[in-house]
Amino acid sequence: MDKLYQERIRLQRKKMMRYLRYVFNDHITAILFILFGGLALYYANWIKTLEKGNIAFLWLYVLLFTVLLSVGKLATYLQRADMVFLLPKTYELPKYLQKAKKQSYALPAVVLILAFVAYLPLLFTVHSWSIVSLILLGGQLLLLKAIDLIRQEKALFSSKEHAVYYYLFAAITLAISVIVSPLFGFVATILLFAIQWAIKDKEAFFQWEKAVQYEEKRMQRIYRFFALFTDVPDVTTKVKRRAYFDPWLNRMKKDAAHTYDYLYWRELIRNNEYIGLFIRLTLITLLFLWLRPSKGVLIIGAMAFLYLLLLQIQPIRHAFDYVLAIHLYPVKEKEQQAALQRIYFWISFAFAVPVAAMSWYVADIATAGIVFILLLLEEVVLYRLSWKKKK
């Protein structure tokens, strides 16, 4: 089992590194560098404007780190075939899961520590903290994440999750630490850790189906992130009917020239991947603008996010390539290209409206108008220069 786990980690890391080359390419790295610099500058200037003694930042700490504790799931690397071929090895799974917990702990621990360090200036706006208090607060976060991984492991041996109780306890102990005393909150966390570690249900048995589904969902979340930057064959998409769009779709023209308009809109609306992609990138763009970067960074950032959106929606053009009935339609290729361009335009328009509105809110109406026009021009230029030439 040890060799099996190490082999699966090696294969998984190899696959992740292959996708990460597309995520952190030259363009994305430059964008992230600009975004990070802008956010750091804004954060530093914003800290200087805050009044001392605002207790709201303590409650924000509780809320923020309760949410961040959900980052990082137990990586078991179990597969469907293991339900049959590893069944005789079930008695060795505790050691296998012990290695999985250690492996799964590193990344969320780093995320929590970095977030804690970044939040320190806000804590110091309330009152001063001693070095010991800060160590206790940081150690509490690491302990709470360890408890979370133990809880996830035990959930694989039970039909109950207890996730709600965990996050409720985490929020209470974090509140005790920042409002009452870091020592009291740390001691309460240690007690929970000891209880979680000591309590074991000897009659519990490993639930293979649940564990495999848990791992598949975890991997799908990772693959969907990579799908924002490149094609990922391992992503499984879900289709929903969404009948509430039917009245609008039924108003479309039913002639040959608009055949692909109907098909592309159906694909766009029913495919969770495209809908989720549009919502996520739009919200991320609005959040970026809400941080009030400079006008130049604002415009460049908005155009970069639209580029990512259109780049990931581009595969829709091939959604019906292997449907035999499509090739029997008396539809010319130029009509398909026209329908595709209309799809890109309306997606860009739907993206540009809220982005321009947020630009108006954080800057001025002139900047909003420039952003709106540039976003629409960007769609036209990108389509003509690259996408129209691709088959």
More confident: 12 or 228: 12
Q: How confident is the model at residue 85 (pLDDT cuts 50, 70, 90)?
A: confident
Lowest-confidence pick of 53-67, 164-178, 245-259, 350-364: 245-259
Residue 387 has pLDDT above 60, yes or no: no
Q: Looking at residue 237, what is its pLDDT? A: 63
Q: Which residues contact 209 (CB under 8 A, 6 or more apart)?
A: 83
Distance CA 31, CA 282 (A): 16
Q: Looking at residue 262, what is its pLDDT? A: 82
> What percent of the chain is modeled with pLDDT above 90?
20
More confident: 349 or 199: 349
Q: pLDDT tens digits for 127-159?
A: 788 899 999 999 999 999 999 999 998 888 887
Residue 300 has pLDDT above 60, yes or no: yes
| Paired residues of 239 in beta bridges | 271
Residue 272 has pLDDT above 80, yes or no: no
Cβ atoms within 10 Å of 198's Cβ, excluding its own = 7
Q: pLDDT tens digits for 23-69?
A: 777 777 777 787 788 778 888 888 888 888 788 888 999 999 999 99
Residue 257 has pLDDT above 70, yes or no: yes
User: Domain segments of the chain: what residues?
Assistant: 2-222, 243-389
What angle (nearest 5°) sits at the alpha carbon of residue 12, between those of residues 8 and 17?
150
DSSP annotation string for 3-55: HHHHHHHHHHHHHHHHHHHHHT-HHHHHHHHHHHHHHHHHHHHHHHTPPTT-T
Q: Looking at residue 144, what is its pLDDT? A: 94
| Pure H helices in the chain | 2-23, 26-48, 56-68, 82-85, 93-126, 131-155, 163-175, 182-198, 208-226, 246-249, 259-270, 272-290, 295-313, 324-328, 333-362, 365-385
Residue 386 has pLDDT above 70, yes or no: no
Residue 389 has pLDDT above 60, yes or no: no
End-to-end CA distance of the chain: 47
CB 339 within 8 Å of CB 267: no
Q: How confident is the model at residue 325 (pLDDT cuts 50, 70, 90)?
A: confident
Q: Looking at residue 336, what is its pLDDT? A: 81
Residue 390 has pLDDT above 60, yes or no: no
Lowest-confidence pick of 97-101, 234-238, 291-295: 234-238
Distance CA 262, CA 255 (A): 10
Q: pLDDT tens digits for 158-190?
A: 877 778 888 999 999 999 999 989 999 999 999
Distance CA 386, CA 174 (A): 51
Measured over the CA atoms of residue 72, residue 78, residue 80 and residue 84, the dihedral's sign is negative
Residue type, 28: I
Residue 359 has pLDDT above 70, yes or no: yes
Average pLDDT estimate for 262-282: 82
Q: Three-state secondary structure along 280-319?
A: HHHHHHHHHHHCCCCHHHHHHHHHHHHHHHHHHHHHHHHC
- In whole numbers, what is the pLDDT of the chain averaged over residues? 84
Q: Looking at residue 143, what is its pLDDT? A: 94
